[in-house]
Amino acid sequence: MSKMTKDKLRSRDWFNREGDPEITALYLERYLNYGLTREELQGGKPIIAIAQTGSDLSPCNRHHIELTKRVRDGIIAAGGTCIEIPVHPIQETGKRPTANLDRNLAYLSLVETLYGYPIDGVVLNIGCDKTTPALLMAAATVNIPAIALSVGPMLNGYWNGERAGSGTVIWKARELMAKGDIDGDEFMEIAASSAPSVGYCNTMGTATTMNSLAEALGMQLPGSAAIPAPYRERGQISYETGKRIVEMVWDDLRPSDIMTREAFENAIVINSAIGGSTNAPIHLNAIAAHLGVPLDNDDWQNIGHKVPLLVNLQPAGKYLGEDYHRAGGVPSVVAHLIGGGLLPHPGAITVNGVSMGDNCQGRAATNTDVIRPLENPLVTDAGFLNLKGNLFDSAIMKTSVISDDFRKRYLSNAGDMDAFEGRAIVFDGTEDYHRRIDDPAENIDENCVLFMRGAGPKGYPGGAEVVNMRAPSYLLKQGIEALPCIGDGRQSGTSGSPSILNASPEAAESGGLALLKTGDRVRFDLAKGTADMLVPLDELAERARQLLADGGYQVPESQTPWQQYFRDLTNGLDKGMTLRGAPSYRDVARK
Ligand code: FES
Ligand code: MG
C-alpha cells in the first residue's frame, strides 16, 4: 500500500488547486507553452525534478546531460513527469577562489527551487566534489523524496604505462618540476594523461569519497556510486534511478527516513574502509546538521578510527576508479565489513526500500587486491584522528596516508612512537608560502613543521585546499619528501599528505593558530590526541592581548558580495561550514 495518494501530491497545490481554477490556470499555462500537456501536469503524475549539475562549465558533471535522457525515460516509464532544473555550477578545478565557497550558495538556491516550485520528488545529479554535499544538504532541508545519481568517475588514466590518478599525479609532477626533472610542457602532458574521459576524479579524492558515501548513506541505488561515467551500466542505472524516484514518491520515502544517525555511523565506518577524503567530515557534518542529526568530529574518531583501510586506490594505494568498480564498489566494501561485524547498522534503510545489509550481503569483492578482505587490509586503524590542544579545538588527521618514511622520520623523534615535535614555520596564506618556502634564509630543515593559516572558511572565503605544502626544493633534492603540515585550511582529497587540517577555530576567528610564531616549538601526540605549541601561558596571554589590540588576525578583503555574506555567516569547518541559522530550517516542504 502506497503512503502517498494522487490527491495529496505536493504539486497539486499548483496544478490542481481545489476550488481555485484561476490560480491553477496561472500556474499551469506557462508550463504548457513548451509542449507539456494537461495530462502530464494534472493527471495525478508525480512531478520529478532532475537537479542538473552538468554543464560546459562543469566538465566533471557534464556527462549528466547525456545521462539525464535515461533518467527521464525511467521517470516517464514509471508514470512521472520530468522537469529538469539548473543548479548553480560548482566545478572544483575552475572556480575562484574555491569551489567550496559555492557549496552553500548552490545549497541555498536549490532549497529555494525545490521549496518554491511544484516538485514532488528530485533526482540529485551528484559528482564533482562539492556538488554531492550541496545537493544532499538541500534535499535534507526540503525533505521531499530524493535519490542521488552519481555521474561516475573517469576511466583510468595512464602515463608511461603506469596508472595516473587525478590530482595525485599532479602533486607528483609538482615535485618533479621543483626538482628540475620535467619542464612545463611535460607537466601539462602528465596532467592531461590523468583525465582520459568524461567523469570525475578517478582517485579516492573528495569526489569518489562523497559519491561512495552518498551510497553508504543509503541515498543511491546499491552499486551505483563507482560505475565509470562512460560505461554501459552508467546509463542503465540512470534509467533505474528515474524509475525508482517515482516509486519513492508513492512510498513517501524521504531523506529524513534514510539519512538517520545510524546511516551516518555506517558512512563514517565505510569512509575509513575506502580511505576517504578529509573533506568528508566537513560535508557529512553539514548534511547531518541540516537533518537535525547530531554528528561531530569526535564521532569520526570514535566510530571510524579503528576501522581498517580495504580499498587500494590512489592516493593511499595504487588502483583507480575502473578497478574499484570492477572489484565490486561500495557493496563489496560493505559486504567485507558486515562479514567482520564492523558495519554498525546493517538494518539502515536505503533508497530502494531495502536495508544496507540486505543490499550488500554476499557481494564479496571479485578482486581482493583492489578491495581487500578484512584479514589483509592496507592499513589497520585507518580512520581519522580528531586532535585538540592550545593550537585549535579540533583538527582532522588522515592516518591512512602516513608513509613508512614519514613514520620513521617523525613518529619517534620525541622519544615516543606516537608523538612528534618540531620547530614551527608559519605561513599566512599561499602567497606568503610561495614567497618563502624555497628561500634558504628561512632555514627550513627536516625538524620543521609547516603551518598554513588564514586559509579557513573566513580567512580565505570557503577555505583553501592548501595545507598539503611541499617541502623546500633543497630538501626534496636531499630525499626528504615531506614535512608535517598543519593548517586551518583544507587539503585536496587526492593528496597523500598526512596533514593535520580543517583546524577550528581558524586563525581569522582568533583561534590558537593566530598566536603561533615561526620558531615556536610544537608537539603532537597522536596517542593522546593532542596538538600544542610549547609556549608559556603568560607569553600566550601577551600575544592574545597584542592580537586584540591590532584588531585581530588580518584577512584580505572580500571580492564579491557573496564572499562577504559567506564570511559573515559561516560556521567553522568542524561544524560543517554550514551557514549560521540555516540548520534550524527543516522539513520545509511539509510546512
Ligand atoms: Fe571534479 Fe575532482 S575536480 S571531481
Ligand atoms: Mg578538491
Helix (H) or strand (E) holding 178: helix 168-178
For residue 472, what are the CA distances in angstroms to 170, 300, 523?
17, 33, 21
Task: Say whether 85 sits in a helix, a strand or coil.
Answer: strand
The pLDDT score that the predictor gives to residue 279 is 95
Query: 93 CB under 6 A from ligand 1?
Result: yes
Q: How confident is the model over 85-99, as a mean pLDDT?
A: 96
Residue 1 reports pLDDT greater than 60: no
Ligand 1 centre distance from Cα of residue 511 (Å) = 31
Residue 434 reports pLDDT greater than 60: yes
Q: How confident is the model over 216-226, as a mean pLDDT?
A: 98
Residue 75 reports pLDDT greater than 90: yes
Q: How confident is the model over 7-29, as a mean pLDDT?
A: 94
Residue 139 reports pLDDT greater than 70: yes
Give the model's confidence band at 590: pLDDT under 50 very low, under 70 low, under 90 confident, else very high.
confident
Instruction: Give the residue, by CA position, lying nearest to ligand 1 atom 2.
Output: 201
Query: 303 CB under 6 A from ligand 1?
Result: no
Which CATH number do you get for residue 411? 3.50.30.80
The pLDDT score that the predictor gives to residue 416 is 62
Asked if residue 256 belongs to a domain, the reply is yes
Query: Which atom belonging to ligand 1 lies closest to the Cα atom of 61?
Result: 1
Query: 201 CB under 6 A from ligand 1?
Result: yes
Instruction: Give the residue, by CA position, lying nearest to ligand 1 atom 1.
Output: 128
Query: Which atom belonging to ligand 1 lies closest to the Cα atom of 127?
Result: 4
Ligand nearest to the CA of 492: 2
Pocket probe for ligand 1: among 62, 90, 200, 211, the residue whose CB has the most ligand atoms within 8 Å is 200
Query: 129 CB under 6 A from ligand 1?
Result: yes
Give the model's confidence band at 579: pLDDT under 50 very low, under 70 low, under 90 confident, else very high.
very high
Ligand nearest to the CA of 93: 1
Asked if residue 573 belongs to a domain, the reply is no
Ligand 1 centre distance from Cα of residue 225 (Å) = 15
Mean pLDDT score of the chain: 95
Range of the domain at 347: 45-156+196-360
- Same-domain status, 257 and 200: yes
- Same-domain status, 106 and 243: yes
Q: How confident is the model over 83-90, as a mean pLDDT?
A: 98
Ligand 2 centre distance from Cα of residue 18 (Å) = 48
The pLDDT score that the predictor gives to residue 415 is 59
Ligand 2 centre distance from Cα of residue 276 (Å) = 12
Matching residue, cell 619517534: 412
Pocket probe for ligand 1: among 53, 55, 92, the residue whose CB has the most ligand atoms within 8 Å is 92
Asked if residue 4 belongs to a domain, the reply is no
Query: 198 CB under 6 A from ligand 1?
Result: no
Residue 412 reports pLDDT greater than 70: no
Query: 522 CB under 6 A from ligand 1?
Result: no
Give the model's confidence band at 234: pLDDT under 50 very low, under 70 low, under 90 confident, else very high.
very high
Helix (H) or strand (E) holding 531: strand 530-533
Ligand nearest to the CA of 63: 1
Ligand nearest to the CA of 279: 2
- Same-domain status, 234 and 303: yes
Ligand 2 centre distance from Cα of residue 492 (Å) = 4
Ligand 1 centre distance from Cα of residue 53 (Å) = 13
Its pTM stands at 0.97
Tens of pLDDT, residues 192-203: 999 999 999 999
Ligand nearest to the CA of 153: 1
Number of domains observed in the structure of the chain = 3
Specify the higher pLDDT residue, 536 or 398: 536
Q: How far apart are CA 337 and CA 324, in angstroms?
A: 16
Q: How far apart are CA 87 and CA 331, in angstroms?
A: 29
Last residue of a domain, one of 195, 216, 246: 195
- Same-domain status, 134 and 208: yes
Q: Which residues of 410-440 are buried (b: 16+ CB within 10 A; e: fewer)?
A: bbeeeeeeebbbbebbbbbbbeebeebbbee
- Same-domain status, 128 and 262: yes
Which CATH number do you get for residue 338? 3.40.50.2300
Tens of pLDDT, residues 314-365: 988 999 999 999 999 999 999 999 999 999 999 999 999 999 999 999 999 9
Task: Say whether 511 sits in a helix, a strand or coil.
Answer: coil
Q: Note the ipTM here.
A: 0.92
Residue 249 reports pLDDT greater than 80: yes
Asked if residue 307 belongs to a domain, the reply is yes
Ligand 2 centre distance from Cα of residue 296 (Å) = 21
Give the model's confidence band at 405: pLDDT under 50 very low, under 70 low, under 90 confident, else very high.
confident
Ligand nearest to the CA of 464: 2
Ligand 2 centre distance from Cα of residue 465 (Å) = 7
- Same-domain status, 143 and 231: yes
The pLDDT score that the predictor gives to residue 480 is 87
Query: 465 CB under 6 A from ligand 1?
Result: no
Q: How far apart are CA 484 and CA 13, in angstroms?
A: 58
C-alpha cell at 148: 542521488
Specify the higher pLDDT residue, 24 or 482: 24
Asked if residue 365 belongs to a domain, the reply is no
- Same-domain status, 480 and 492: yes
Q: What is the dihedral of CA 112, 115, 118, 120, to 10 degrees?
A: 130
The pLDDT score that the predictor gives to residue 62 is 98
Residues 6+ apart with CB under 8 A from 488: 392, 452, 453, 454, 455, 456, 459, 463, 501, 502, 503, 504, 506, 507, 508, 511, 513, 573
- The DSSP bridge partners found for residue 536 are none
Asked if residue 116 belongs to a domain, the reply is yes
Which candidate, 3, 23, 275, places its Cα nearest to that of 145?
A: 3
Matching residue, cell 560505461: 231
Ligand 2 centre distance from Cα of residue 491 (Å) = 7
- Same-domain status, 170 and 295: no
Q: How far apart are CA 75 and CA 68, in angstroms?
A: 10
Tens of pLDDT, residues 532-575: 999 999 999 999 999 999 999 999 999 999 999 999 999 999 99
Query: 205 CB under 6 A from ligand 1?
Result: yes
Residue 50: phi, psi to the nearest 5?
Answer: -110, 110
Query: 92 CB under 6 A from ligand 1?
Result: yes
Percent of the chain with pLDDT over 70: 98
Instruction: Give the residue, by CA position, lying nearest to ligand 1 atom 3.
Output: 92
Length of the chain: 591
- Same-domain status, 218 and 180: no
Query: Which atom belonging to ligand 1 lies closest to the Cα atom of 207?
Result: 4
Which candidate, 512, 276, 553, 277, places its Cα nearest to that of 394?
A: 512
Query: 59 CB under 6 A from ligand 1?
Result: no
Tens of pLDDT, residues 386-397: 999 999 999 999
- Same-domain status, 274 and 406: no
The pLDDT score that the predictor gives to residue 133 is 98
Query: 207 CB under 6 A from ligand 1?
Result: yes
Pocket probe for ligand 1: among 55, 58, 60, 283, the residue whose CB has the most ligand atoms within 8 Å is 60
Which candidate, 390, 553, 579, places its Cα nearest to that of 459?
A: 553
Q: How far apart are CA 64 and CA 61, in angstroms?
A: 6
The pLDDT score that the predictor gives to residue 208 is 98
Give the model's confidence band at 496: pLDDT under 50 very low, under 70 low, under 90 confident, else very high.
low
Ligand 1 centre distance from Cα of residue 566 (Å) = 23
- Same-domain status, 330 and 456: no
Percent of the chain with pLDDT over 90: 88
Query: 60 CB under 6 A from ligand 1?
Result: yes
Asked if residue 367 belongs to a domain, the reply is no
Query: Which atom belonging to ligand 1 lies closest to the Cα atom of 129?
Result: 4
Strands (E) across 288-350 are located at none
Q: How confident is the model over 151-179, as a mean pLDDT?
A: 92
Q: Which residues of 220-250 are buried (b: 16+ CB within 10 A; e: fewer)?
A: bbbbbbbbbbbbeebbebbbbbbbbbbbbbb
Ligand nearest to the CA of 278: 2
For residue 440, what are the CA distances in angstroms to 304, 479, 517?
41, 17, 19
Pocket probe for ligand 1: among 62, 132, 166, the residue whose CB has the most ligand atoms within 8 Å is 166
Asked if residue 376 belongs to a domain, the reply is no
- The DSSP bridge partners found for residue 394 are 504
The pLDDT score that the predictor gives to residue 280 is 97
- Same-domain status, 243 and 290: yes
